[in-house]
Structure 1
């Protein structure tokens, strides 16, 4: 019986991780496309990198991702501006302490505003602008894996998101394939609406509508 209960707990945990990863990955990819469509020069730069590193005669493979430094910077910048969970999961204070001049009692629940940290102008010049280039220059050493406290889309410490490596890999690989395989165009003359709705994740309020067309050799689509 104990063995069965343990198996059920493992199954539940795995299911919750996959379900949570699906929502956050979808939301992040949606915001990324919105930002790129509203910043055409960044989109063109991403496609230029893909064409240089991969060409138009084959599909993107997982081994290509490490070469796509600008695409990785785009994902980082999206996670900075639009973290899928703007408020981290609650933490309980385990002892009386003083934080920012405030006396906080043991047992108090703490909600961390990830979005505010990620867009703090003290750390991020032009803090609300979409500038992936910063992660190739002034902030090239900053990552999203909980080691730099000015950028915490996945949290940090013992409560960091357990699916961080899987989630990043999926987002980067899908984005690379989308931008490499298709021309993605905003069908409207108006900028993409960037309003969001906060729930379990920070999702785009209105659906993203785009037009796509192939941009590779026809043989590439036979193997997709």
Structure 2
């Protein structure tokens, strides 16, 4: 009897959720672009097959250049018309400025307060202004041209050593990756974490592990983002991993900030030093959390 009651309850619960989702779809999205038939709860997830661009192309041939899909509880609009894309990013750019609230943005993006995860509004506009003027401006980037030159020379020296006895086969992908991260971190914190001249071996190892985890998690799919009850039970354990990884990342970046602050900036022209100088004049806004969020954006977009 207990098993019958449990199965009946679960069946009723699933049917109720499916009915609510179907009712919500019909009442709240009456003017959506055309869409193929969907399944309860899953929506159109059953249609998504790799490679995605071919799946979307096949659907666009049947439903037009603008059509809608539902990935579980999330609405997705697919656009393959250049003129429609242009309109989205010009006339309607503000309407489409927000991003979905994914778990990565909640944990790694300091609860959606970084530039890449914050909703459109005063806070986002202020972050964009700061990034444009204080981090990504031509003048600011030109200040670090010496760093880029040094790291390229280091790469060329390494390549020359590998081929000093004649032609040699080298794996350039990892070398270019190390070159990129060394340039970024020298600009942000004045430190190298790959190759030669690594001063703190343990700190460099921690940084390399964090980078490796970021790459893994950025490519990981989380079904809980699309089906709510999978998120509630943390299906796959990704939510737990994100929490632990976010804490490690925060501790690492806070350590870089504290180190720069304790050394009183020593006249260095790193991005951390510059942001800490702004913190002295505007402490109410340039908090450590805001600076760590800007550091994340810098490491991602530079």
TM-score scaled by length of structure 1:
0.30
For the pair shown, the structure with the greater C-alpha radius of gyration is 2
Whose strand proportion is higher, 1 or 2?
Answer: 1
